[in-house]
Structure 1
Amino acid sequence: MEATREIYWNVNHALIWVMYLFAFLALGGCAWGFWSRLPLYRQGKPLDRLDRLPLRLKLMVRGALTQAKVLRVQVPGTLHAFFFWGFLLLFIGTLLIMLQADFTAPLAGWTFLKGTFYKGYSLVLDLAGIIAIFMLGGLFVRRFLVRPPALPTKRDDYLAHALLFTILVTGFVVEALRMAATEVHQNPELARLSPGGLLLTPLFAGMTPAAISVTHKALWWGHFFLAMAFIVAIPWTKLRHLFTDPANYLCTDLRPKGAIATINLEDETAEQFGAARAADLAWKDIYDADACTLCKRCQDRCPAWYTEKPLSPMRVVQQVGEMALNEPQGDLCRYVTEEVLWDCTTCRACQEICPVDIEHVNKIIEMRRNLALMEGKFPGDEVRTAMGNYEVNGNPFGLAWAERGAWAEGLDVVTLESGEPYDVMYFVGCYASFDRRNKEVAKAFAKICSAAGIRLGILGKEEKCCGEPPRKLGNEYLYQTMAQENIERIKGYGVKEIVTTCPHCFNTLVRDYRELGLDIPVRHYTTFLAELVQQGRLKLQPGDSFDCTYHDSCYIGRYADIFEPPREMLQRLGGTITEMDRNRMESFCCGGGGGRILAEEKVGTRISAARVQMAGETRAPMLVSNCPFCLTMFEDGIKTGGLEGSMAARDLAELVAARL
């Protein structure tokens, strides 16, 4: 006899219309629930996130089905992913039953749930259900028994676990009752293809056929109504992420990493710059609160939270949603609090680890814009002083602009103003121009380029700060003013290529300046030098091997995906790298990003000290980086962390220059 089973066994077929009536009502309730939330999102500003639709659809399908981003956190990610796949297979199996029972069989006389296909179908669905139960159990233990620190547990979590677990278990009980009546003795070969139900059949061995029939019928309808309750609950609970997360993949930001909206400061009709209320943000910023699963991955990786500061990226996302829902005209910055907003280093660790593509950083920057542009507020007096220095001298130190190129005296470096020939323009940046320690890095880079036969040209006294620190602190006006002056001079000299030793300058010039009209290739020196070595233009002498650990600066690593060229260069130099636990995409910020290089760190542990401690745990005597902010912060962290004498901070350029 061909393997198959009667669909809707023991269920009065005359009542199937009742099942579909409630199914349509449940789907209608679910749809209405999501529809009722649309006005919440529409409070936000318009934002086109349906451009390049084929790519977006691909990202949505890949993100939802592969669970690749969920799996980046091993234990909870694996539990969630396998539960999702198991539940998805059960859902697909239910759709196939509906397809045959209500369409192919009555309309075309075609039944496909039979024979070999049905055997596989039966086995796969039972195994999927078993896996789903075990994975849900693992998630239950983690959330309610292990209770990871700061993992928020709400009413929704109890409801979701209870509904899902009851639906899965009652499904197997219903199956076991049917098998006890029709298969265990009559068709044991088919029964073995439903191991989940078969495991429970001994529970009903002593029941009469009539009792089994009544119990099966009651539980069948109970299982059905539980499933309908689950569907209705989706838009009203955190279960909504079943739909909001795939939609978030669809609406992900396709701009280059770290892109920030450029404010039109000449718009005379504008009454507000930055976000004072939830409605001042884009609709996507409000929608993110519904997509957030409260998994706290962003919080766990936030350097501010790690060092006992009040900033939780997860909480900020939720606060935006709360204000949009409960107090749309309320003071968003006061609700989130200024202290939280200023703590962010814009390291992007939160966004990179987020399994559902939530955008944390730009929300914070928009609120900072309101504080800086509309209220004239900054993290402290030291930052206010630095802003004044930028306005007068084009650098945060208040040093004379005429001294900006003094570091290059005696080197084969020319100013563009002189008209002398050069090969590549070097955008030096403020720290390499004025800071004593970072001047050594600029000199080392110039020597390296000379050894490779490349003559550097600099703007010298005509260069101003790229504007990145003020911009990240919300001062868009100051950023655009300095940026426009830099762009005007660069274009005026007909520059063909730019290289920089500062990751912050690099990101600003290669990405942000494009919106202001600069379309010139920009390189960071790590990839620039790696290419010179590969081309044979840069010769390095062999020397003694050395041990080190390497720090991936946020703006080269997470922002630009440059991870291997610096490591390859260190290995060429004879370096043996002992990696810190948090490296590459998981790297821990130095604490200087987001304009924090200008601000005193007054709460909790210093971020730089925490990172230096991580480096110290490798027992490597040298901490290598490629960012002036990182070098400055690490030298401070080594002093305050008590590692003087046992560890030294070095820039990669210094090590390369020593091997010319």
Structure 2
Amino acid sequence: MEFTREIYWNVGHGVTTLAPMYLLALAAVSVLVYGAFRRIRIYRLGQPLKRSDQPAVRLAAMVRNVLLQTRVLRVKGPGVAHAIFFWGFVALFIGTSLIVVQADFTHLLFDVVFLKGTFYKIFSIVLDIAGGAAILMLSGLLVRRWIVRPQGLETKRDDVIMHSLLFTILLTGFLIEGARMAVTEINSPLSYWSPLGLVVAKGLGVSMTEPSLLTLHRGLWWLHLLLAMLFISLIPYTKFRHMLTTSMNYFFADRGPVGKLVTVDLENEEIETFGARQVTELSWKDIFDSDACTLCKRCQDRCPAFATDKPLSPMKLINRIGEIAATNPAMDLIDAVTKDAIWSCTTCCACQDICPASIEHVNKIIEMRRNLVLMEGEFPGEEVMAAMEQVEVNGNPLGMGYAARGDWAEGLNVPSLADDPHVDVLYFVGCYASFDKRNMKVARDFVTLCHAADIKVGILGKEEKCCGEPVRKMGNEYLYQTLAVENIETLQKYGVTKIVTSCPHCFNTLAKDYRDLGLTAHVESHAVFLAGLVQEGKLPLRPESFDCTYHDSCYLGRHNGIYAAPRQLIKAAGGHIVEMAKNRDQAFCCSAGGGRILAEEKLGTRINIKRVEMAAATGAQTLLSNCPFCLTMFEDGVKGANVEESLRPRDITEILVERLSG
């Protein structure tokens, strides 16, 4: 006898079953489509944004992230539970679809039955295991949400609906299977291919008669169908919609470069306002992001502002945008989100990096900052306004005269391009390495290393201006573009083809943002540049053993994926790294990004102190970094954390220059 089973057993396969079943399905799909179009109308409130380029790449990313749950699995625990539940549910959906295809199409129209024999046995056990795994994982997620209750995890009406409905659908599925098996397969070898169903069947068979089992099966079959149709119809009206929106968000995700901002066309006379004061001034993707959000709180958990008691929760900000778009698009977006939340962001990109739904948080905040600065002339503090005025006058936020920008290099035999444009690399120094005494030493050490490798390095000297990154991230797009255009014109005047910078903020800006304004020169971080010299044997080092911990700066790490080069340099110098708990792509911000280097930190506790405490907890005596902003913050942080005597902040170049051979 060939292994198979009767489809629609006990409920019939006639018009009295099929007609109401397909009418219910049609009604459910109609409600779903209607709800989807209502959501689309909300998305269309936003401004146009092209996200359909590179369709093959986008489609591949969507398939990979959906089917493999790649981004979801980056956080273990709930990520694993969600992924297994998803795979189990997908298997059940495919299995149900195969049953419908055979019963209502291939068998009905062509007398073709494929759910039989070995294939049916595999089909049976796979669905049995998938259903059991789905129930187990859903139970774990239920315990986490309602019993463990992780701090910050919000539980709303949608969560009750989702868990209740999914759990009931899965349980009724097993009860239906158990009732059928109790009548038809309880003593059959086929029953062993549904082990969980067999357990249910034996339990039901002990306490129920066959007529009762038939009645139970028929009633639960229709209930299961109704619940499944309810599930489909509720998708666009509840958090269930993330099944569609999160999947589509993988397709619509920014294809990079990471953290690159849209360059505003300041010459366009048709633009009446800059930035976003209302949701209608954001892009459609910004509104769509709110529907892709699952309120998993990963972004909130990783946010340095939220972790230090500031009024910014990336999760709540995204959902507030969605609420306003759906209920009152004319509402003042900035007042609704609050200015304190907007100014608290360090643009570290930790939220975007960890988001399982590919939501883009930072650009929304920058758009609101642009509106505050360009349309209202409003800044987070007087000190920020003063710094921007200094940038306008002297080309740097520190208030130092522009003519002294190259004085740090005195005695180092470093030509300015005005005197000698024939150099191997142009060192774009940045404001802090040019004027801040602590960071000037780093600049001098970098030049010393270049000379040791027989690299002729030049600078722009007084012709160099601030790259514009801090003022841009604070919202002053006009001042940024003014600085950028002047810097690019100077670089092009001297025919510069290769630029190295010791500031990750300068590196990120020149390598990405300046491209929109015409810069074509190759740009490298000094960490990558020096690591290359060491690998090529051009920079001879004398390793000396030492212990340290290393801080991945946000703009070298998450923004540009540079994690290996700095560690290679430390290893080449003889260093042993004791990693902080939060390192590499999970590194905690120093607090200076997003233009916050210009602002006083007045709300909550200090981010730099929290990061220094993480470093001190490793027991290492040296805290290495490769960013002038980070170094500045850590020099202040060790004082605030009272660890000046036990932890010394240093730049990697300082370690290397001490270990030069010969």
1:412–1:450 contact (8 Å) kept in structure 2: no
Paired residue for 1:167?
A: 169
Paired residue for 2:523?
A: 522
Deviation at 1:215, TM superposition (A): 1.4
Note if 1:213 corresponds to 2:223.
no
Letter in structure 1 aligned against 2:553: S
Across the aligned residues of Structure 1 and Structure 2, the Cα RMSD in angstroms comes to 0.8
Letter in structure 1 aligned against 2:283: A
Paired residue for 1:555?
A: 555
Paired residue for 1:240?
A: 241
Distance 2:337 2:421 in 1: 53
Deviation at 1:154, TM superposition (A): 0.1
Deviation at 1:142, TM superposition (A): 0.3
Deviation at 1:24, TM superposition (A): 1.4
Percent identical: 58
SS in 1 for 2:593: coil
Distance 1:534 1:523 in 2: 16
Paired residue for 2:383?
A: 382
Alignment deviations for residues 247-304 of structure 1 (CA, whole Å, 9 cap, x no partner): 0001010121111111111111211100010010000000000000000000000000
Q: In structure 1, which of residues 84, 90, 94 is the aligned counterpart of residue 92 of structure 2?
A: 90
**Alignment map for 1:97-246 (pairs within 5 Å):** 97-185=99-187, 187=188, 189-201=189-201, 202-246=203-247
SS in 1 for 2:356: coil
Deviating more after overlay: 498-507 vs 262-271 = 262-271
**Alignment map for 1:356-375 (pairs within 5 Å):** 356-375=357-376
Distance 1:455 1:66 in 2: 49
Letter in structure 2 aligned against 1:628: P
Deviation at 1:455, TM superposition (A): 1.2
Distance 2:164 2:256 in 1: 40
1:170–1:223 contact (8 Å) kept in structure 2: yes
Distance 1:514 1:421 in 2: 23
Deviation at 1:420, TM superposition (A): 5.1
Q: In structure 2, which of residues 45, 51, 54 is the aligned counterpart of residue 52 of structure 1?
A: 54
Letter in structure 2 aligned against 1:596: R
Deviation at 1:113, TM superposition (A): 0.2
Paired residue for 2:23?
A: 21
2:49–2:285 contact (8 Å) kept in structure 1: yes
Distance 1:249 1:416 in 2: 45
Paired residue for 2:69?
A: 67
Paired residue for 2:635?
A: 635
Paired residue for 1:329?
A: 330
**Alignment map for 1:428-507 (pairs within 5 Å):** 428-507=429-508
1:612–1:641 contact (8 Å) kept in structure 2: yes
Letter in structure 2 aligned against 1:627: C
SS in 2 for 1:192: helix
Runs of 4+ in 1 over 3 A off after TM superposition: none
Letter in structure 1 aligned against 2:83: A
Q: Which runs of 5+ in 2 are unaligned?
A: none
Deviation at 1:203, TM superposition (A): 2.4
Note if 1:600 corresponds to 2:607.
no
Paired residue for 1:320?
A: 321
Distance 1:212 1:497 in 2: 79
Letter in structure 2 aligned against 1:315: K
SS in 1 for 2:415: strand
Paired residue for 1:6?
A: 6
Paired residue for 2:564?
A: 564
Letter in structure 2 aligned against 1:166: T
Distance 2:278 2:184 in 1: 63
**Alignment map for 1:526-545 (pairs within 5 Å):** 526-543=527-544, 545=545
Deviation at 1:205, TM superposition (A): 2.7
1:412–1:456 contact (8 Å) kept in structure 2: no
Distance 2:248 2:421 in 1: 55
The count of corresponding residues between Structure 1 and Structure 2 is 657
Deviation at 1:106, TM superposition (A): 2.3
Deviation at 1:35, TM superposition (A): 1.1
**1:206 to 1:269, Cα distance in 2 relative to 1, 3 A:** closer
2:421–2:494 contact (8 Å) kept in structure 1: no
Letter in structure 2 aligned against 1:184: I
Distance 1:61 1:198 in 2: 35
Q: In structure 2, which of residues 20, 30, 33 is the aligned counterpart of residue 31 of structure 1?
A: 33
Distance 1:352 1:542 in 2: 35
1:70–1:81 contact (8 Å) kept in structure 2: yes
Paired residue for 2:654?
A: 654
Paired residue for 1:277?
A: 278
Deviating more after overlay: 19-28 vs 204-213 = 204-213
Deviation at 1:209, TM superposition (A): 2.1
Alignment deviations for residues 422-444 of structure 1 (CA, whole Å, 9 cap, x no partner): 11000000000000100000000
SS in 1 for 2:193: coil
Distance 2:343 2:208 in 1: 68
Paired residue for 2:416?
A: 415
Alignment deviations for residues 493-542 of structure 1 (CA, whole Å, 9 cap, x no partner): 00110000000000000000000000110000011001111111111123
Distance 2:510 2:92 in 1: 51
Q: Which runs of 5+ in 1 are unaligned?
A: none
Distance 2:125 2:170 in 1: 16
Deviation at 1:355, TM superposition (A): 0.4
**TM value normalised by structure 1:** 0.99
Deviation at 1:551, TM superposition (A): 0.3
Distance 1:231 1:257 in 2: 36
